[in-house]
């Protein structure tokens, strides 16, 4: 498994001086299955959010190979029911998202609780701060060729408002790897 480690990071795309907090993001999934996104405060914490994306792992790998990937996850604002509780739900707690990949609608993303298998993957990846690779899969459910691909990186989390958050993948200095941005928006 290749592991990329670096102590320095590039400033990433120009965001007009807006700064955010650094979190760990992991995209993972079986080669013939859907991709899940796990967001953690640090690589050693439990996931604060897990979203199953409307994309096959092989398609994600192909899109990342193009060099730039924009994933937008949109949900609808809830109607105000008179007591002001319509949008008190935190943005990342929304259960259902319409997903767009590089501007094309791809289906729906679903927020879910971390499964035992998700937690096992996060446990295996605890020592990995940044990197991409393949883990042996669950032969019982995925067959002998069921490898689990992953990509883990630090992301800058920028909260624009209670209805928008953006996660910018941070690349090691001098690395011309893929550029990935994930937008969560309530419209």
Digit-coded pLDDT (tens) for 33-72: 999 999 999 999 999 999 999 999 999 999 988 888 999 9
Q: What is the pLDDT of residue 136?
A: 85
Given a cut of 90, is residue 153 above it in pLDDT?
yes
Q: What is the pLDDT of residue 59?
A: 92
Q: What is the pLDDT of residue 78?
A: 83
Sign (positive/negative) of CA torsion 129, 147, 52, 107? positive
CA distance 105 to 151: 23
Cα dihedral 71, 26, 121, 134 in deg (nearest 10): 90
Q: Three-state DSSP class for 89? A: coil
- What band does 7 get if pLDDT is binned at 50, 70 and 90? very low
Sign (positive/negative) of CA torsion 40, 180, 111, 32? negative
What values do phi and psi take at 25, rounded to 5? Answer: -120, 135
73 Rama class: left (phi>0) / alpha (psi -120 to 50) / beta: beta
Given a cut of 50, is residue 3 above it in pLDDT?
no
Q: What is the pLDDT of residue 15?
A: 42
pTM of the model: 0.83
**How confident is the model over 117-150, as pLDDT tens digits?**
999 999 999 999 999 999 987 666 655 567 899 9
Q: Note the Cα 87 to chain centre separation in Å.
A: 23
Residue (of 177, 169, 133) closest to 151 by Cα position:
133
What values do phi and psi take at 92, rounded to 5? Answer: -75, 0
**8-12, 35-39, 151-155: segment of lowest average pLDDT:** 8-12
**5-9, 79-83, 172-176: segment of lowest average pLDDT:** 5-9
Q: What is the pLDDT of residue 92?
A: 95
CA distance 163 to 177: 30
Q: What is the pLDDT of residue 82?
A: 58
Given a cut of 70, is residue 13 above it in pLDDT?
no
């Amino acid at each position: 498994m290749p592991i990329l480690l670096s102590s320095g990071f590039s400033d990433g795309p120009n965001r007009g001086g807006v700064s955010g907090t650094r979190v760990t993001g992991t995209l993972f999934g079986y080669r013939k299955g859907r991709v899940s996104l796990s967001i953690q405060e640090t690589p050693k914490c439990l996931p604060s959010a897990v979203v199953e994306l409307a994309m096959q792992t092989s398609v994600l790998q192909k899109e990342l190979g193009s060099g730039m990937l924009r994933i937008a996850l949109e949900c609808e604002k809830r109607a105000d029911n008179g007591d002001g509780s319509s949008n008190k739900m935190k943005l990342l707690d929304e259960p259902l998202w319409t997903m767009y990949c590089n501007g094309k609608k791809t289906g729906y993303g679903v927020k879910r609780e971390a499964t035992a298998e998700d937690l096992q993957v996060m446990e295996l990846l605890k020592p990995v701060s940044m990197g991409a690779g393949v883990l042996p899969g669950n032969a019982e459910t995925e067959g002998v060729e069921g490898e689990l691909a992953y990509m883990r990186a630090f992301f800058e989390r920028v909260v624009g408002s209670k209805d928008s958050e953006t996660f910018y993948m941070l690349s090691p200095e001098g690395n011309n790897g893929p550029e990935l941005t994930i937008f969560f928006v309530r419209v």
